[in-house]
Structure 1
Amino acid sequence: MATGRSLRPAGVAVAVALCAAALLASCAGAGASSRAAGCRKHVAKVTEYGAVGDGKRLNTAAFAKAVADLSERARDGGAALVVPKGKWLTGPFNLTSHFTLYLDEGAEILASQDMKDWPLIAPLPSYGRGRDEPGPRYSNFIAGSNLTDVIITGKNGTINGQGQVWWDKYHAKELKFTRGYLLELLYSDNIIISNVTFVDSPSWNLHPTYCTNVTISGVTVLAPVHSPNTDGIDPDSSSHVKIEDCYIVSGDDCIAVKSGWDEYGIKFNMPSQHIVIKRLTCISPTSAMIALGSEMSGGIRDVRAEDNVAINTESAVRVKSGVGRGGFVKDIFVRGLSLHTMKWVFWMTGNYGQHPDNSSDPNAMPEVTGINYSDVFAENVTMAGRMEGIPNDPYTGICISNVTARLAPDAKKLQWNCTDVKGVTSDVDPKPCPELGAEGKPCAFPEEELVIGPPELPKCSY
Structure 2
Amino acid sequence: MATRRIPRPAAVAVALCAAALLAACAGASRAGCRKHVAKITEYGAVGDGKTLNTAAFAKAVADLSERARDGGAALVVPPGKWLTGPFNLTSHFTLYLDEGAEILASQDMKDWPLIAPLPSYGRGRDEPGPRYSNFIAGSNLTDVIITGKNGTINGQGQVWWDKYRAKELQFTRGYLLELLYSDSIIISNVTFVDSPSWNLHPTYCTNVTISGVTILAPVHSPNTDGIDPDSSSHVKIEDCYIVSGDDCIAVKSGWDEYGIKFNMPSQHIVIKRLTCISPTSAMIALGSEMSGGIRDVRAEDSVAINTESAVRVKSGVGRGGFVKDIFVRGLSLHTMKWVFWMTGNYGQHPDNSSDPNAMPQVTSINYRDVFAENVTMAGRMEGIPNDPYTGICISNVTAQLAPDAKKLQWNCTNVKGVTSDVTPKPCPELGAEGMPCAFPEEELIIGPHKLPKCTY
> Shared fold (TM-score greater than 0.5)?
yes
Contact 1:36 / 1:459 at 8 angstroms: preserved in 2?
no
**Are the aligned partners of 1:18 and 1:457 in contact in 2 as well (CA < 8 Å)?**
no
Question: Structure 1 residues 53, 159: CA separation in 2 closer, same or farther (over 3 Å shift)?
Answer: same
Q: How many angstroms does 1:313 deviate by?
A: 0.0
- Aligned equivalent of 2:372, options 358, 362, 378: 378
Cα 1:24–1:195 shift into 2, 3 Å: farther
Return the offset for 1:360.
Answer: 2.0
Q: Deviations over 1:266-292 (max 9, x none)?
A: 000000000000000000000000000
Counterpart Cα distance in 2 of 1:22 and 1:438: 59
Using structure 2 for the length normalisation, give the TM-score: 0.94
Secondary structure in structure 2 of the residue aligned to 1:75: coil
Q: What is the deviation of 1:362?
A: 1.0
Distance 2:268 2:236 in 1: 9
Q: Is the 8 A contact 2:124 2:171 kept in 1?
A: yes
Deviation at 1:35, TM superposition (A): 3.8
Distance 2:193 2:66 in 1: 31
Partner of 1:343: 337
Change (3 A) 1:406 1:34: closer
Deviations 1:79-127 (A, max 9, x none): 0000000000000000000000000000000000000000000000000
Provide closer, same or farther for how the CA distance between residues 359 and 68 of structure 1 changes in structure 2, counting only shifts above 3 A: same
* Structure 1 residues 322-346: Cα deviation after superposition (integer angstroms, max 9, x where no partner): 0000000000000000000000000
> Helix, strand or coil: the match of 1:22?
helix
CA contact (8 A) 2:257 2:353 kept: no
Q: Which runs of 4+ in 1 moved over 6 A?
A: 1-10, 13-27
1:8 Cα deviation after fit: 51
Match of 1:62, SS state, is helix
- Cα distance between partner residues in 1 of 2:337 and 2:129: 36
- For 1:8 and 1:203, the matched residues in 2 are separated by 65
Conserved? CA contact 1:113–1:165, under 8 Å: yes
Per-residue CA deviation, residues 411-456 of structure 1 (Å, 9 max, x unaligned), is 0000000000000000000000000000000000000000000000
Report the Cα distance in structure 1 between the residues aligned to 2:391 and 2:270, rounded to whole angstroms: 21
Q: 1:418 to 1:243 in 2, by over 3 A?
A: same
Give the Cα separation in 2 of the matches to 1:14 and 1:129: 66
> TM-score scaled to structure 1, two decimals?
0.93
- Of structures 1 and 2, the larger Rg is shown by 2
Aligned partner of residue 96 in structure 1, secondary structure: coil
CA contact (8 A) 1:4 1:375 kept: no
Equivalences, count: 456
Q: Does the C-alpha gap of structure 1 residues 106 and 131 become closer, same or farther in structure 2, counting only changes over 3 Å?
A: same
Counterparts of 1:195 and 1:5, CA distance in 2: 47
| C-alpha contact 1:91 1:118 (8 A) present in aligned 2 | yes
Given the alignment of the two structures, is residue 119 of structure 1 paired with residue 117 of structure 2, yes or no?
no
Alpha-carbon distance between aligned partners in 2 of 1:41 and 1:154, rounded to the nearest angstrom: 17
Match of 1:131? Answer: 125
Does the CA contact (< 8 Å) of 2:28 and 2:452 recur in 1? no
Q: Matches of 1:455 and 1:291 in 2, distance apart?
A: 27
Whether 2:443 is the aligned partner of 1:449: answer yes
| Higher RCO, Cα 8 Å, sep 6+ | 1
Which consecutive residues of structure 2, in runs of 5 or more, have no partner in the other structure?
none
CA deviations on 1:172-202 (whole Å, 9 max, x unpaired) are 0000000000000000000000000000000
| Equivalent-residue separation in structure 1 for 2:70 and 2:177 (angstroms) | 26
Counterpart Cα distance in 1 of 2:8 and 2:333: 12
For residues 9 and 400 of structure 1, what CA distance do their matches in structure 2 show?
Answer: 62
Asked if the contact 2:317/2:356 (under 8 Å) is kept, the reply is yes
